[in-house]
Structure 1
Amino acid sequence: MEPDPPNASTVLEETCGTTTFVCEYEGGIMMGADTRTTLGPYVSNRESDKITKIADNIYCCRSGSSADTQAICNLATYHMDLDVADGLREMQDPPLVYRAASLFRDIFRENEGNIKAAMIIAGWDRVKGSQVYALPSNGVLVRQNCALGGSGSSYILGYVDKEWRSNMKREDCMEFMKTALSLAMARDYASGGLINIGVMETEKPMEKHIFTQQELLRYCNYQRTL
């Protein structure tokens, strides 16, 4: 005898209950996120990578439903590849960041009300240099120098507004980002795990840096299990 199907009201959706943070600094762009995903009140994955590659020069930070954000990233990447097949750009040329961001925006608008997601798309190109685009769930695309996303971002908005500067050195920006993400992870139950930071500079591949719980304790006096 086959078991009864699960009650729809008890099925939990995996979410990137998240803190994402992207900002420009003097030499490029820095993207940071925690690594925790959740199923309701349960931690389902402690080491999820929420910084997703769209092209060699473009990445996005994902927050919201894991299934939705992964599907959207796959669809956007597919359309970016079609641009080459359709002759809109040469294969050796890096794609435009705004082109990628507008694809995400169009997907959000075409599926309005059916997806639970927010994105921050960032990268560099040879036309406009470094760029950061925030895309909340309502599908309104906004270019910003500094963008936050996810449930943990509300805890650090004031701190980031006060401390961020457009001309930060790379080392200062790294310390600033680690502090901000640590503060958010200490207060937001859905953010935790490790800190994943990606550094992008023009004509260079992204550098990924992972910071463990023990390395983060000095950035935040309020301690809990990350």
Structure 2
Amino acid sequence: CRSGSAADSQVVSDYVRYFLHQHTIQLGQPATVKVAANLVRLLAYNNKNMLQTGLIVGGWDKYDGGKIYGIPLGGTLIEQPFAIGGSGSTYLYGFFDQAWKEGMTKDEAEQLVVKAVSLAIARDGASGGVVRTVIINSEGVTRNFY
């Protein structure tokens, strides 16, 4: 997930994808989610005067399971139980403080995200008009469109 300049977030994503591919080739195994998040952090921090983007890095690996990290402007790395970003996120912090519960099922979490993004779309003209979810777990990646 990204916020800020689309061009900046895309170039960071492209660099990270390239470096993670090189990591996999050199070490013979995929990088952990934490390695990916730290790579984003380094790129954001080392270019903090030129980049206008915040990113969310989430995934699942065999060492740490599911993880999610927020990397706001400036390159700080924050591990969180959930992360929200983008122009519509300002409307959602109170909602998530009330609605987020540790140990939610996959379906409960997905419905929470659908409701949250729908609320952001209703309040923020820059949030788009559709909801896309991605579920990442030990079984793989599932993409849904609402």
TM-score w.r.t. the length of structure 2 is 0.95
Q: 1:110: Cα distance to partner?
A: 1.4
Instruction: Give the structure with the higher percent helix.
Output: 2
**CA-based RMSD:** 1.1
2:137 aligns with 201
CA offsets, 1:9-62, max 9 Å, x none? xxxxxxxxxxxxxxxxxxxxxxxxxxxxxxxxxxxxxxxxxxxxxxxxxxxx11
Q: 1:94: Cα distance to partner?
A: 3.0
Give the count of matched residue pairs: 146
Distance 2:20 2:30 in 1: 11
Amino acid at match of 1:205: G
Instruction: List alignment gaps of at least 5 residues for structure 1.
Output: 1-60, 212-226
Q: 1:151: Cα distance to partner?
A: 1.0
Higher relative contact order (CA 8 A, sep 6+): 1
1:166 aligns with 2:102: yes
Q: 1:84: Cα distance to partner?
A: 3.4
2:36 aligns with one of 100, 106, 109: 100
Is the contact made by 2:20 and 2:30 (CA closer than 8 Å) also made in structure 1? no
Aligned 1:104-143 pairs, distance under 5 A: 104-143=40-79
Distance 1:171 1:77 in 2: 29
CA offsets, 1:160-219, max 9 Å, x none? 1101011111222222111111111101111122100011111x22111001xxxxxxxx
Distance 2:90 2:57 in 1: 19
Q: 1:63: Cα distance to partner?
A: 1.4
Structure whose CA Rg is larger: 1
Distance 1:64 1:173 in 2: 25
Amino acid at match of 1:78: Y
1:55 aligns with none
CA offsets, 1:132-174, max 9 Å, x none? 0000012100100011111101101101110101111122222
TM-score w.r.t. the length of structure 1 is 0.62
Identical columns (%)? 33
Instruction: List alignment gaps of at least 5 residues for structure 2.
Output: none
Instruction: Give the structure with the higher percent strand.
Output: 1
Displaced runs of 4 or more, over 3 A: none
Structure 1 residue matching 2:111: 3-state secondary structure: helix
